[in-house]
Amino acid sequence: MKKIFGFVLICVIGCSTSKKTPERLSPEKQLLYNQREGFAHFFKIQVFCDALEKSYQDKEIFEKIGKEDLLGGYDGIAHSSIQEKIDSLATKVANSIKPEEYPDFENKKFIMKACLEYYNSKELDSIARFMAEKYNKD
């Protein structure tokens, strides 16, 4: 009986002291949270698109894609210092992609794989959150 009581007590205390989740924020804080999440999301997409563009040799591909696709376009990241950060990250990713040494894959690269892995990385998540905080103040 004491074990059951202890378990129930822990559950009640744990539930009542949970962290503030976005659902429990005030409307103003919820809006700010959504703006930062949106900024971080589009920041990551832009790094991904720019890394792809810098990695492929055929620039005509992106001219054709750009006619129909916005390629991560978002006005919230138009600030020049944000674009410089995106450009430096995309360049870093593109420069890190080396041709495979395996004979069957001679002179080919895993470009899409490398760009997707960076898009999903904790490093880019952290940078995107930092930039969102910096450029979306209260």
pLDDT digits (tens, 9 = 90+) for 37-82: 989 999 999 999 999 999 998 888 888 888 888 765 666 677 889 9
How many helices (DSSP H) and strands (DSSP E) are in the chain?
Answer: 6, 0
Cβ–Cβ contacts within 10 Å for residue 19, how many?
Answer: 5
Tens digit of each residue's pLDDT (9 = 90 or more) over 9-43: 455 455 544 444 566 888 888 888 888 898 999 99
DSSP assignment of 47-89 equals: HHHHHHHHH-S-THHHHHHHHH--TT--GGG-SHHHHHHHHHH
pLDDT at 25: 80
Angstrom distance (rounded) from CA 41 to CA 14 = 31
Q: Helix/strand/coil (H, E, C) string of 33-47?
A: HHHHHHHHHHHHHHH
pTM for the predicted model, two decimal places: 0.75
Q: Which pair of tokens denotes residue 14?
A: 């744990």
Residue 104 has pLDDT above 60, yes or no: yes
